[in-house]
Amino acid sequence: MKNITDIAKIAGVSKSTVSRYLNNGSVSNKTKQKLDKIIEENDYQPNQFARSLRAQSTNMIGAIIPRMNSHAVDETIKGVKKVCDNLNYRLLLNYTNLHSELEIDALETFNRSKVDGVIFMATEITDKHLEVINKMNVPVVIIGQEHPQLNCVIHDDYQAGYMVGKLIGQKSYKKVKYFGVTETDIAVGVKRKNGLCDGLKAFEIEPVISETSFHYKEALKDVSSDLENARDYDVIIGATDSIALAVHKFTFDYEDKLQQPLIVGFGGDPVTEIVTPAINTVEYHFVEAGEIAMSKLQRSIKNQQKDDISVVDVTCAFKL
C-alpha cells in the first residue's frame, strides 16, 4: 500500500504538493494532471487514521443500537443516516443485542475511537450510563428515553397512550386489558401506561394491567396464561406491537370468533398489518426522530452545549 510520500516521489514533487492536490486544490494544471494519472494508476487512498490523528476529528458518528431486527431501530437509523449523508459524516453502528454492559462498552469504545458524536438508542438509563456519558468528551444524543442532564429526543408516549385511551372510551368499550412492560423503561413502561390510564379515566374505565416482556415469545407465554381464564375483554392493548402480536396470536384461536377483542399496539410495525384482522397501532415517527437527533448532535458538536429535550409527536392513523 502506497503512502503520500511514494506518490510524491513517483510524481517528482514534494508530498505537500500531493497533499494540496488532495485537499484544497491550489496546484498547477500540469502537476494536477500528472497526479490525476498517478493516483489513479496506483489507486492511492490517503490513510484515514493519519488524517484523523492530524485533524483531531474523524468525521464519524457512532450509533449504538439495541437490536437490529426491529422496525423502530431500522426507521430511526434511516433518519440518522439521511442527515449524516447530508453533513458528510460516516455512520458506524454498534449493536448491543439489548445488553446493558455492551452499551457501556460501546460508549467507551466510541469515546476512545474519537468519533465526533454518538447517537444512543436507549431502553433505559442507569446511573452507570450517566456516569460514563458524563465522562465522555464526545457529545451524545439519546433517542427514546429522557434524562434531565442529557441531550434527548423522545416520542410523546404519554400522548400516544392518552389518544388510545380516549378513542376506546369514546366507542364505549367497557372491559379493557393492558399488557405493559417493566417500569425501568420510563418511556414505554411508565409514560405510555399513564397516558392510557388517564385517557380511559375520563370515561371512567379502569384497565386491567399486567406486565410482560418486549420479546414476542415471552410475551406470548404471559399473554396465554393471563387470558386463559379471562376471555371477555372488549379491548386488549399491548405496550408494543410485539406484545399486541402475541395477543393476536392467542386470541385468534378463541372458539367464539364473533367475540374477538379489539387489539391495539404501539409503534407502527408493518407486521401488524400482515396479520388478519390487522392490529391497530399508533404510528411513531422514527425517521423524524432520527433526523432530529442527528441535527441536535451536529449542533452539540459545533457548540459544545446541550439544548432542550425534543419531543416527536405520534399519530393515530386508525379509527376504532
Residue 275 touches a copy of itself, criterion: CB under 8 A? yes
* Binds DNA (CB under 7 A): choice among 19, 194, 210, 224: 19
- Specify the stretch interacting with DNA by CB under 7 A; choose among 11-19, 123-131, 260-268, 311-319: 11-19
Residue 45 touches a copy of itself, criterion: CB under 8 A? yes
- Specify the stretch interacting with a copy of itself by CB under 8 A; choose among 13-21, 40-48, 155-163, 256-264: 40-48
Residue 317 touches a copy of itself, criterion: CB under 8 A? no
Q: Which does 275 bind (CB under 5 to 8 A by kind): DNA, a copy of itself, none?
A: a copy of itself
Dist. CA 196–CA 164, nearest whole Å: 6
One-letter amino acid at 298 equals Q
Task: Please spell the DSSP secondary structure of 74-126, one letter per residue.
Answer: HHHHHHHHHHHHHHT-EEEEEE-TT-HHHHHHHHHHHHHTT-SEEEEE-S---
- Percentages of the chain per state (helix, strand, coil), in multiples of 5: 50, 15, 35
Task: Please spell the DSSP secondary structure of 200-245, one letter per residue.
Answer: HHTTT---EEEE--SSHHHHHHHHHHHHTT----SEEEESSHHHHH
Q: Which does 113 bind (CB under 5 to 8 A by kind): a copy of itself, DNA, none?
A: a copy of itself
- Specify the stretch interacting with DNA by CB under 7 A; choose among 9-17, 101-109, 150-158, 175-183: 9-17
CB atoms within 10 A of CB 150: 19
* Grid cell listed for 288: 423524524
110 phi and psi angles, rounded to 5 deg = -60, -35
* Binds a copy of itself (CB under 8 A): choice among 10, 93, 209, 316: 93
| Smaller CB separation from a copy of itself, 273 or 313 | 273
Side-chain half-sphere of 43: how many Cα atoms within 13 Å?
0
Dist. CA 124–CA 154, nearest whole Å: 12
Q: Which does 91 bind (CB under 5 to 8 A by kind): DNA, a copy of itself, none?
A: a copy of itself
Residue 137 touches DNA, criterion: CB under 7 A? no
| Smaller CB separation from DNA, 9 or 171 | 9
Pairing of strands 314-315, 280-284: antiparallel
Residues that bind a copy of itself (CB under 8 A): 1, 43, 45-50, 52-53, 58, 67-71, 73-74, 77-78, 81, 90-95, 97, 108-109, 111-114, 135, 137, 216, 245, 248-249, 252-253, 270-271, 274-276
Residues that bind DNA (CB under 7 A): 1, 3-5, 12-17, 19-20, 22-24, 26-28, 30-31, 45-47, 50-51, 53-56
